[in-house]
Structures are given as structure tokens and as C-alpha cells.
């Protein structure tokens, strides 16, 4: 993939190094050349000094060919403008914007942008740990769904996936075994100590915990 990142702070730099290390083509833009020192010696992408909403600069780095655009500076306004330029003017397929103020999240969403809010993410993670250590709502981009882990034992051993799925409320997406992770078929038989990764409606979490005898921690 060809990815353009605006903002070479801690988040932008780490994202750039991860993507570059995986073999993706990465361009990172920042107003300060000094910020590129965060990338270290292993980064093999392109660095450009300037504003992430500068049309000439974006054309120079080939935004028309970009598969994804991430605006992760430390300013909400800069991220919003940069993301809008990428989405509306250059039609980049995947556009993400970091937002510090959760109150602005709905504005970004209304503009059709995918948002990343550290405040909202951390709050969701902490809430999940308080309510149920096996439950993670922040792994899915929806406030209505979450992921829950269930260990197979006792009465679940020998049942099939279709036996335990709850249509509309809970579905097993993956099974982790000693041999690795599998994507189950409806007739996959559960084995002792399998770990089920299931998608659950947040509103049905209590009922799912009761069905599988999960104790709150």
C-alpha cells in the first residue's frame, strides 16, 4: 500500500515505522524537519517538510496514487482540514483523522471521516477492564459491538459452533487452539481449552455472560 501520514509526533512516527517495516510505501509530512529524528535509521520511506493540507505538496508526493491517508498531528483543526482535502479533493480511498477533543468526534463522523480518539479509546479500554476483563469493545469500530473471549470447558466441550451461536446477539468469529487460530465452520466441534473469540452486541453482554457462566472480574 501507498500511505501518506501527516504529523511525525510519537503516533505518526510509530505508525510510519510499522508500515515501512512491513514493506509498505510511506510518506510522512510534518512542519518541523526536526521531528523526523523520531523515525530512526531503519525507516526507508520519504519525509517531506510542510503542511498536510498544502495542495502542491500533496501532489508532489503523489497523493493521487495513495491508498490511505492518516492525519495524526497534535491539532484537531489541522487533522480535520488535511483529512477533508485528502477525501474530498483527491478521493483517497481510506482517510483517518486523529481527534483529541471527543466532543468533535461527531463532526468528523458527519463529514464521513474515520476517527481515532486517544481519549475515547483509553476510556473504552478502561471501561472494558472494569466491567469484564475478557471483553473489548474498542477492537471493533462500533459502540454497539464488542469482542469477548470464552474458554471452552465442561458443558461446551463437544458442542458445535452452530450450537452456541446466538443469532443477532453473539457469533464465534475465531477459535484459538494449541495448533493456532482457525476460522470455524458451523459444524466445527469445540475441544477442551479452546479459546473462542466472539463478536457480541454490547446490549446483550449480560445475557451472553450468563449463558456461558462467565464471572465478572
Please tell me the predicted confidence (pLDDT) of residue 140. Answer: 47
Q: End-to-end alpha-carbon separation of the chain, Å?
A: 41
pLDDT by 10s per residue, the chain, length 217? 999 999 999 889 989 998 999 899 999 999 999 999 999 988 999 999 999 999 999 999 999 999 999 999 988 889 989 999 999 999 999 998 888 776 676 676 677 777 676 655 555 555 555 555 455 544 444 556 777 888 898 889 999 999 999 888 888 888 988 888 888 899 999 999 898 888 888 788 888 888 887 755 4
Instruction: Supply φ then ψ for residue 88, to 5 degrees.
Output: -85, -40
Question: What pTM was computed for the model?
Answer: 0.61
User: What is the torsional sign of CA 83, 88, 91, 93?
Assistant: positive
Angular region, 193: left φ>0, alpha ψ -120 to 50, beta rest: left
Closest by Cα among 61, 116, 114 to 90 = 61
User: What is the torsional sign of CA 97, 93, 47, 49?
Assistant: negative
The full set of domains in the chain, from first to last, is 2-116 (3.40.50.720), 132-211 (3.30.70.1450)
Please tell me the predicted confidence (pLDDT) of residue 138. Answer: 42
Amino acid at each position: 500500500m501507498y500511505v501518506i501520514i501527516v504529523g511525525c509526533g510519537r503516533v505518526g512516527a510509530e505508525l510510519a515505522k510499522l508500515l515501512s517495516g512491513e514493506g509498505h510505501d510511506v510518506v510522512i509530512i510534518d512542519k518541523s524537519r526536526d521531528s523526523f529524528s523520531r523515525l530512526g535509521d531503519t525507516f526507508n520511506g520519504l519525509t517531506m517538510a510542510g503542511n498536510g493540507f498544502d495542495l502542491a505538496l500533496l501532489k508532489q508526493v503523489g497523493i493521487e496514487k495513495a491508498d490511505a491517508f492518516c492525519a495524526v498531528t497534535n491539532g484537531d483543526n489541522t487533522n480535520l482540514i488535511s483529512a477533508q482535502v485528502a477525501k474530498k479533493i483527491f478521493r483517497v480511498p481510506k482517510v483517518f483523522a486523529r481527534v483529541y477533543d471527543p466532543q468533535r468526534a461527531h463532526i468528523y463522523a458527519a463529514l464521513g471521516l474515520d476517527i481515532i480518539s486517544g481519549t475515547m479509546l483509553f476510556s473504552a479500554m478502561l471501561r472494558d477492564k472494569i466491567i469484564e476483563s475478557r471483553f473489548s469493545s474498542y477492537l471493533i469500530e462500533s459502540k454497539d459491538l464488542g469482542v469477548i473471549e470464552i474458554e471452552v470447558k465442561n458443558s461446551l466441550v463437544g458442542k458445535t459452533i452452530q450450537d452456541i451461536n446466538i443469532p443477532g446477539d453473539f457469533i464465534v468469529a475465531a477459535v484459538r487452539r494449541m495448533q493456532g487460530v482457525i476460522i470455524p465452520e458451523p459444524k466445527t466441534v469445540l475441544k477442551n481449552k479452546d479459546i473462542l473469540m466472539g463478536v457480541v452486541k454490547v446490549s446483550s453482554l449480560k445475557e451472553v455472560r450468563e449463558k456461558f457462566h462467565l464471572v465478572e472480574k
